[in-house]
A and B are shown apart, each in its own frame.
Chain A
């Protein structure tokens, strides 16, 4: 499968994302923020970083870049879009995902390993995640505190759109395991159609044993499995 990885000024996980995809045996190419087309991409990754210096709000400026209009169109047509860290912030700012990400509760930048409980295994981003244990992935953010109003949260819960929650090593979603103050320990969500998802932790930085965890692979592999299945159905 072929992934488009967006590049904004001050994206800094674009290389990590391309590397992770290639390690898994797939192809990826960078798409510059001024481009108006995503090319022949099967899926899009909006990578982490500090697009446009995080000026105004994280993701607020990137959201209006030409490439994001192409991403919106791609998502509207059902294409798979994954936002990681700053990419998650951008997708929320672009209204492709509900909610917003605000300053961490303790005002500190958190760079550490966290554990994630997957809440919905029936999505294109989670289908191959093993349910038996939590995922281990790093976070590296100052503005990762997920917020949504009570009405939106109720909708997310009812629609099973909460994909990942911060938990401890045993899988318990405790307050102590919440690194940034996110409401309901939310680490990642999907849209109503489940073709757009975002998370603050970095699956791209957890796709090789050398990096301390390979759990990030499950997210990309789930996306690939979904794309393979879509192709099979289209061919049939």
Chain B
């Protein structure tokens, strides 16, 4: 079982990386790119036998306290087999 956490900059936060990637895509000729947001992906391997709900609960806390900064970032947490 794994936990997958996707962290993205909040919409209101300046995202110069996203903007730079967007500009590059446009220069390369990719049309219709309305916005690019560069974030982080964290994958956590969970020990065999871990309780799914307990893991979600604990990692949701960790994502809020440590893995993301709620001032500037949003996150999505998912537990997958």
Q: Mark A residues whose CB is within 8 Å of B.
A: 56-57, 60, 64, 92-93, 99-100, 102-107, 145, 147-149, 181
Contacts and interface: CB of A to CB of B under 8 A. Distances in A.
Contact of A107 (B12, B20, B67, B69): B20
Contact of A181 (B14, B67, B71): B14
B61 interface: no
B69 A100 contact: yes
Contacts of B66: 56, 60, 64
A147 B16 contact: no
Interface string B42-65: 000000000000000000000000
B71 A100 contact: yes
Given A105-B16, A145-B14, 5 more contacts: A60-B66, A107-B17, A147-B72, A148-B71, A149-B12
**Most chain-A Cβ atoms within 10 A of its Cβ — which of B12, B13, B14?**
B14
A173 B69 CA distance: 29
Contacts of B20: 107
A90 to B, nearest CB: 12
B21 to A, nearest CB: 11
B16 A103 contact: yes
Tier of interface size on chain B:
10 to 19
A64 B17 CA distance: 27
Contacts of B14: 102, 105, 145, 147, 181
Contacts of B13: 102, 147
Contacts of A102: 9, 13-14, 72
29 contacts: A56-B66, A57-B69, A60-B66, A60-B69, A64-B66, A92-B71, A99-B71, A100-B71, A100-B72, A102-B9, A102-B13, A102-B14, A102-B72, A103-B16, A103-B17, A104-B16, A105-B14, A105-B16, A107-B16, A107-B17, A107-B20, A145-B14, A147-B14, A147-B71, A147-B72, A149-B12, A149-B71, A181-B14, A181-B16
Nearest to B38: A103
Contact of B69 (A93, A103, A106, A149): A93
A88 B66 CA distance: 17
Contacts of A100: 69, 71-72
Nearest to A183: B14
Nearest to B70: A100
Interface string B6-23: 000100111011001000
A148 B20 CA distance: 22
Contacts of B17: 103, 107
A147 B17 CA distance: 16
